[in-house]
Structure formats: structure tokens, C-alpha cells
């Protein structure tokens, strides 16, 4: 949430097979501890894989029959495959060349998240059949799309990765659904108050959780359950609302973006249009305001709780 980290990242490690083989690519998103990424494109022959990490693999294109724990099941585009350390996954038959993207989480990261959520350890995933865990699948899909962009690791992306892992542990393990702690409503109220009070400042998920008095895994699930959106999306809505107020007083898009803690005018434009359905410029013109406020007044308006 808030401003992102510096755009530097570890150079992508590429390993390409022969010209007639699949393309394999690896990279590590800098700023997210214990996470490595890979992408396998156009695999037309059965492959096997082994990992010492927990894997969240999204099938992007194609279809194949895969063997796992003695059972063969069909994996198709849009499907999710979850892996545990030390296990072998192998393709039995490729129906159409497959492209997959995988997120490999370090075992200690997953085990600590499971401990926090009350999920039995070691973590054992269950197969995600089509339609079984729609929200977990939707979150994993969004996470993979964001990580594929290879951009700076923002607070929003960090929170999305955290929420995805929490949802997978809660709904796709042998224990099944993990209920939100009874203190959750109070924690959500404290988190919402904190976000409103710090709308124009960078906000980390760890700081938000500490203020709310709950661990980040429980908080992010409880927040969505209570308000329908995770904390970082709630903060974005707050910022767009404040920016709209500022635009109505005569500030430019760049000034409003800076005042509410966004990177620049282009980021404001993207969020403004997505949430309100119009561009900041069109919104400002409809307000027909002639006078610009003082900088002090603009700051008070942008940051008031």
C-alpha cells in the first residue's frame, strides 16, 4: 500500500532449452522475501518437476493430464496446481502445448503463515478442482498477472501476495476453511481508522496489522470479509475520493495525485477511471470551479481523517 519500492530488481535468470523445446524463465521479485518465479512456455511433451518449495502454479494456456499422489487429473487453462516441498509432479499426456507460471514460496514462509492462521503443519494442500476454490483461484490469477509485469514491488503487490497465500492456506489445505478470529471486527475497525488517518502517507501492511492488533494474515482476510475489499484497495478508494475533492477545488491532476500519496498523475488517472468511471480531467471540468485553494488548505483537505 502506498508508494512502491525502487524499480530495481534482480536481473532475470533465463534458461532456454533447444529451439524445439519449451522456453523456461526464472526471476525473483526483489522486495518480497522467500518468493521466486518461473514461467514455462509451449511445453508440448510430458515433463516432470521436483521442488523444495511450496508452489502455486497457474495454467495459462493448453491442457495436459498430470500425475500427483497416485492420481491422474486433467489440468487446463485457468486451473491451479499447488505443490509441496519434496514432491514430484509429472505430466502423463499433453493435449495442447501448455504455458504455466509458478510462484515458489520458501517453506519457512508458508509454515510461519500456517502457524499464524492455525493451519496444521506441515501444510498439505488438496487438489483444486475446477470451481472448488473460486476466490483462491481468482486471487492467484491476479497475483500471477501482477508478478508477470516485472514492475516494482509495490505495497499493493506485497499485500496481494500475502492475501493469496492466506486464502490458499485457509481453503485449499486438508483442514479446510479456517474461521476468522473473533477479534477480527475490532481489528478491522482499527485498521480502517488507521488508513483514513494516513491516507496521504505510505502505509505498510506490517504497520497496519500492528496498529490493528492482529497478524496480517488474519487481518487481510477479515478486512475483505467485513468491507468487501482488502486494505490496499480500500486505501486506493480513499485516495480517489480525496483526490476528487481536491480536483473540485481547482487543483490539477498532478497536484491532487501528490497530495493523496500517489506516484503521479498517470496513477491517479488509472485508479480514478477504474473506480469512478471518468478521467480526473473530465471530472474536474464538470465541477466548473474557478478558484484554486492555498497549499495549506489543500494539505488539510487531502490528509484529514
- Structural domain containing residue 243: 233-303
Task: Give yes or no: residues 163 and 213 share one domain.
Answer: no
Are residue 138 and residue 77 in the same domain, yes or no?
Answer: yes
Residue 284 falls inside a structural domain: yes
Which of 230, 295, 294, 233 has the alpha carbon at shortest distance from 258? 295
Same domain, 114 and 244: no
The answer to whether residue 275 scores a pLDDT higher than 90 is: no
**What pLDDT does residue 11 have?**
46
d(CA 111, CA 133): 21
> Same domain for 243 and 224?
no
In degrees to the nearest 10, what's the CA dihedral of 116, 119, 124, 127? -110
CATH code of residue 33: 2.60.120.10
Q: Return the pLDDT at 302.
A: 55
Omega before 111 cis (within 30°)?
no
Instruction: Summarize the confidence of residues 275-297 as an average pLDDT.
Output: 66
Residue pair 269/284 in contact (Cβ under 8 Å)? The answer is: no
41, part of any domain: yes
Give mean pLDDT, residues 128-152. Answer: 94
Q: 277: helix, coil or strand? A: coil
For residue 178, being part of any structural domain is answered with no
Confidence at 304, pLDDT banded by 50, 70, 90: low
Task: Indicate if 104 and 58 belong to the same structural domain.
Answer: yes
Is 144 in the same domain as 108? yes
Residue 278 and residue 137 share a domain: no
Q: How far is CA 101 from the centre of its chain?
A: 15
Domain identity same for 270 and 294: yes
Q: Are residues 166 and 19 in the same domain?
A: yes
State the Cα–Cα distance between residues 83 and 66, nearest whole angstrom: 12
Q: What is the pLDDT of residues 185-216, one digit of tens each?
A: 889 999 989 998 999 999 999 999 999 999 99
Q: Is residue 179 part of a domain?
A: no
- CATH number of the domain that residue 253 is part of: 1.10.10
**4 falls within a domain:** no
What is the predicted pLDDT for the residue at 175?
66
CA distance 79 to 61: 10
Q: How many domains does the chain fold into? A: 3
Is the per-residue pLDDT at 108 higher than 60? yes
Residues 148 and 83 placed together within one structural domain of the fold: yes
Residue where one domain finishes, among candidates 171, 201, 220: 171
Mean pLDDT of 87-111: 92
Say if 91 falls within a structural domain: yes
Residue 1 lies in a domain: no
Q: What confidence category does residue 67 fall into, taking pLDDT thresholds of 50, 70 and 90?
A: confident
pLDDT of amino acid 18:
40
Per the domain annotation, does 55 fall within a domain? yes
On the question of pLDDT at 53 being above 80, the answer is: yes
Q: Quickly list DSSP for 224-241.
A: HHHHSS-HHHHHHHHHHH
| pLDDT tens for each residue of 220-256 | 999 888 877 889 988 998 898 889 889 888 899 999 9
Q: Which of 219, 228, 227 is nearest to 183 (CA)?
A: 219
Domain end (from 194, 212, 229) = 229
14-41 pLDDT per residue, tens: 444 344 567 888 888 988 989 989 898 9
Beta-carbon contacts of 270 under 8 Å, excluding residues fewer than 6 positions away, are none
Percent of the residues in the chain that have a pLDDT greater than 90, as a whole number: 49
Co-location of 239 and 280 in the same domain: yes
- 116 and 22 share a domain? yes
Amino acid at each position: 500500500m502506498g508508494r512502491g519500492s525502487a524499480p530495481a530488481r534482480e536481473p532475470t535468470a533465463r534458461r532456454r532449452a533447444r529451439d524445439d523445446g519449451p522456453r523456461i524463465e526464472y526471476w525473483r521479485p526483489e522486495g518480497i522475501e522467500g518468493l521466486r518465479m518461473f514461467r514455462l512456455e509451449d511445453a508440448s511433451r510430458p515433463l516432470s518437476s521436483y521442488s523444495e518449495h511450496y508452489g502455486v502454479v497457474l495454467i495459462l494456456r493448453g491442457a495436459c493430464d498430470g500425475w500427483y499422489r497416485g492420481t491422474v487429473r486433467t489440468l487446463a487453462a485457468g486451473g491451479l496446481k499447488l505443490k509441496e516441498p519434496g514432491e514430484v509432479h509429472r505430466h502423463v499426456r499433453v493435449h495442447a502445448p501448455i504455458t504455466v507460471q509458478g510462484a515458489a514460496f520458501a517453506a519457512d514462509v508458508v509454515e510461519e503463515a500456517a502457524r499464524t492462521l492455525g493451519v496444521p503443519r506441515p501444510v498439505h494442500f488438496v487438489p483444486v478442482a475446477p470451481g472448488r476454490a473460486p476466490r483462491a483461484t481468482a486471487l492467484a490469477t491476479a497475483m500471477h498477472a501482477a508478478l508477470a509485469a516485472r514492475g516494482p514491488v509495490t505495497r499493493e503487490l506485497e499485500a496481494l501476495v500475502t492475501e493469496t497465500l492466506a486464502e490458499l492456506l485457509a481453503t485449499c489445505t486438508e483442514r479446510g476453511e479456517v474461521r476468522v478470529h473473533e477479534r477480527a471486527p475490532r481489528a478491522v475497525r482499527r485498521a480502517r481508522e488507521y488508513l483514513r488517518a494516513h491516507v496521504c502517507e505510505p502505509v505498510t501492511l506490517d504497520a497496519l496489522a500492528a496498529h490493528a492488533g492482529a497478524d496480517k494474515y488474519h487481518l487481510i482476510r477479515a478486512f475483505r470479509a467485513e468491507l468487501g475489499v482488502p486494505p490496499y484497495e480500500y486505501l486506493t478508494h480513499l485516495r480517489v475520493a480525496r483526490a476528487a475533492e481536491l480536483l473540485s477545488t481547482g487543483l490539477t491532476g498532478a497536484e491532487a495525485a501528490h497530495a493523496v500519496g500517489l506516484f503521479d498523475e498517470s496513477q491517479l488517472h488509472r485508479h480514478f477511471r477504474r473506480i469512478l468511471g471518468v478521467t480526473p480531467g473530465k471530472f474536474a471540468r464538470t465541477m466548473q470551479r474557478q478558484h484554486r485553494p492555498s497549499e495549506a488548505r489543500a494539505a488539510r483537505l487531502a490528509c484529514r481523517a
